[in-house]
């Protein structure tokens, strides 16, 4: 056992754990942050994805001892009420079916949009590569991933519909203009 100081969703936690304990176990079993899901346990499905210093990581295979000083963001850290622009896009487009994979899909999309506020189809595909959805919601995920973040510093939080192109191309594109502080981005 060893003591680790973790920063999760902006809060500091001191935990006593075996160094090889996967971060996912810490989140779910120690901190009761159960929004992050277990799927395969082998870094193959993406269900357990969280952000570590803004980068997507598979928490099922990330030993707590390798986290270092990285600040972790889970799905609970995006917003207290599901109002993060990406979460709202997910709701507006009715993306989830069973929902099991969706927290991981959302976290990778948040990381993508932090780097590419207006991602291309290829960038969305690359970012979500390796995220498996047994319910086959891939098309809706891609539509919701085409979120255009207007500005991280815009004063008034909000989101408005600014356009839609019919699904004549490889995927339909849905563009949202989002205004948010993007706390976890």
Residues in contact with ligand FES by the rule CB under 6 A? 38-41, 43-48, 58, 60, 96-102, 133-135, 137
> Which residue's CB is nearer to ligand FES, number 90 or number 176?
90
Q: How far is the CB of 21 from ligand FES (least distance, A)?
A: 14
Q: How far is the CB of 38 from ligand FES (least distance, A)?
A: 5
> Which residue's CB is nearer to ligand FES, number 42 or number 168?
42
Q: Which residue, among 66, 44, 57, 52, has the nearest Cα to 7 in the 3D structure? A: 52
Cβ burial of 71 (10 Å; 0-12, 13-18, 19+) is middle
Q: How far is the CB of 105 from ligand FES (least distance, A)?
A: 7
> Which residue's CB is nearer to ligand FES, number 140 or number 182?
140
Question: Where would I find the beta strands (DSSP E) of 9-124?
Answer: 11-17, 49-52, 55-58, 71-73
- Distance in angstroms (rounded) separating the CA atoms of residues 63 and 19: 7
């Amino acid at each position: 056992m060893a003591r680790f100081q973790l920063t999760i969703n902006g809060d500091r936690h001191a935990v006593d754990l075996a160094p090889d304990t996967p971060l996912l176990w810490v989140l779910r079993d120690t901190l009761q942050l159960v929004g992050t899901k277990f799927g395969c346990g082998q870094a193959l499905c993406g269900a357990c994805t969280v952000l570590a210093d803004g980068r997507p990581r598979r928490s099922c295979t990330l030993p707590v001892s390798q986290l270092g000083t990285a600040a972790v963001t889970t799905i609970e850290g995006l917003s207290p009420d599901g109002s993060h622009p990406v979460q709202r896009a997910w709701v507006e487009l009715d993306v989830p079916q069973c929902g099991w994979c969706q927290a991981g899909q959302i976290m990778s999309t948040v990381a993508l949009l932090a780097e590419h506020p207006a991602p291309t189809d290829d960038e969305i595909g690359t970012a979500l590569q390796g995220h498996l959805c047994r319910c086959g919601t891939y098309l809706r995920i891609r539509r919701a991933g085409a979120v255009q973040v207007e500005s991280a510093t815009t004063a008034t939080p909000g989101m408005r519909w600014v356009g839609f192109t019919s699904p004549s191309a490889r995927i339909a594109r849905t563009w949202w203009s989002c205004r948010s502080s993007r706390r976890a981005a």
